[in-house]
Amino acid sequence: MTQRVLIAADKFKGSLTAVQVADRVTAGLRRVVPGVEVEALPVADGGDGTVAAAVAAGFERHERQVAGPLGQEVTAAFALRGDTAVVEMAEASGLQRLPRGVFAPLTASTYGSGELLRAALDAGARTIVFGVGGSATTDGGAGMLSALGARFLDEDGEPVPPGGGGLADLARADLSGLDPRLSSVDLILASDVDNPLTGPKGAPAVYGPQKGASPDDVDLLDAALTHYAKVLEAEAGPRAAGYAASPGAGAAGGIGYGALLLGARFRAGIEVMLDVLGFAPALERATLVITGEGSLDEQTLHGKAPAGVAAAARAAGKEVVAVCGRLALPPEAIGRAGIRRAYPLTSEEPDVVKCIADAGPILERVAARIAEDFLT
């Protein structure tokens, strides 16, 4: 039987894009089995790299000038195929859009993400997959909603300052100006986290410190977002309170909450992306699946791309192996996830700094070992 390998791996953050991972694995496999058939389907779970994965799968890249998290103009992209768009909030409002070493936990805004959603509507999208993750923001999606026509006003009727901190001054929310096209679009909130908006497991407490928030900032943001949800309850009714407690509301600094207010359906990011990218037919053609990401660890098991790929492949009776930069899971946990064996770069090069710097060549050597173990 002809061996056909499907490479469905995420990026190695800080080292290789998902497309580069696929290229390097392909090169390594062909060192050992020159004629092996390989199909590459780079994947993402809704976070940064989601648009790139869609483009690699045949979507068209569309670039727009939008506001970055600090209001500066940035060039951001969304992906479009037919009337389906993939919009990645990190393209406009991600941590990578901040100057190096600069954090703005109280003032960073998702306004540019709303501008990207509006651009997708302008391009004729009827289904929008909204991938959220990697955000620089904790504003509950207020910036995004503002870009789509909502107004958030203080006691004097003036717009509140951008960012989650400004929501402490919120007196009134007006959603009447929201873009009417939103009511006729299938908006899918794609995320790998299911946190609520506020509280001990909410966006400020769990993710705020990653965005530079001090303990005092976390308390301020949690109180501001709680207040924001109460003001929105007065405008939108009890559903606003229900959305604040819903899984996914706390995704990407609470932009999930804003998306739910727009009528979005929450789905696990990797499941949505596998559907959008055409994973099922590619899986059917494969005899071996190679997945992976930079770090295979406890987080991987909770909705990250390799776990989603492995679950789908196991359901189809296909064998799965994984590549990674570092491996922090015991063999039994990997097995339970549906992965036969994991191949970390550190098995070839114990020096982690070298693994990061020379990830491509080392990954080729790792892939050659996979070929020896599974294809010969």
Q: Give me the chain's average pLDDT, please.
A: 96
Pair 163, 299 in one domain: no
- Determine the length of the chain: 376
Domain's final residue, options 213, 239, 270: 270
Q: How many domains is the chain built from?
A: 2
- E strand map for 43-115: 60-67, 73-81, 84-88
How far apart CA 354 and CA 336 sit, in angstroms, is 30
pLDDT of residue 302: 87
Pair 19, 158 in one domain: no
- The CATH number assigned to the domain holding 235 equals 3.90.1510.10
Domain's final residue, options 209, 241, 270: 270
3-state secondary structure of 220: helix
Domain's final residue, options 224, 247, 270: 270
**Mean pLDDT, range 175-194, rounded to an integer:** 96
Pair 178, 214 in one domain: yes
Which structural domain range is residue 317 located in?
4-41+278-374
Per-residue pLDDT at 122 exceeds 70: yes
Pair 212, 357 in one domain: no
Pair 203, 282 in one domain: no
Pair 66, 178 in one domain: yes
Pair 55, 180 in one domain: yes
- The CATH number assigned to the domain holding 337 equals 3.40.50.10350
pTM for the model stands at 0.94
Pair 15, 118 in one domain: no
**Mean pLDDT, range 72-97, rounded to an integer:** 97
pLDDT digits (tens, 9 = 90+) for 252-295: 999 999 999 999 999 999 999 999 999 999 999 999 999 999 99
Pair 17, 33 in one domain: yes
Phi, psi dihedral angles at 290 (to 5 degrees): -115, 120
pLDDT digits (tens, 9 = 90+) for 209-238: 999 999 999 999 999 999 999 999 999 999
DSSP notation for 137-179: --STTHHHHHHTT-EEE-TTSPBPPSSTGGGGG--EEE-TTS-
pLDDT of residue 1: 63
Pair 214, 98 in one domain: yes
- Looking at the chain, the whole-number percentage of residues with pLDDT higher than 70 is 100
How far apart CA 142 and CA 240 sit, in angstroms, is 13
Per-residue pLDDT at 303 exceeds 90: no
3-state secondary structure of 188: strand
Q: Answer with the residue of higher pLDDT: 302 or 369.
A: 369
pLDDT digits (tens, 9 = 90+) for 44-53: 999 889 999 9
Using CA atoms, how far residue 123 sits from 77, 80, 82, 84, in Å, is: 12, 8, 10, 10
Single-letter amino acid code for the residue at 119: A
Pair 247, 142 in one domain: yes
Nearest-CA neighbor of 266 among 197, 364, 169? 197
Pair 120, 263 in one domain: yes
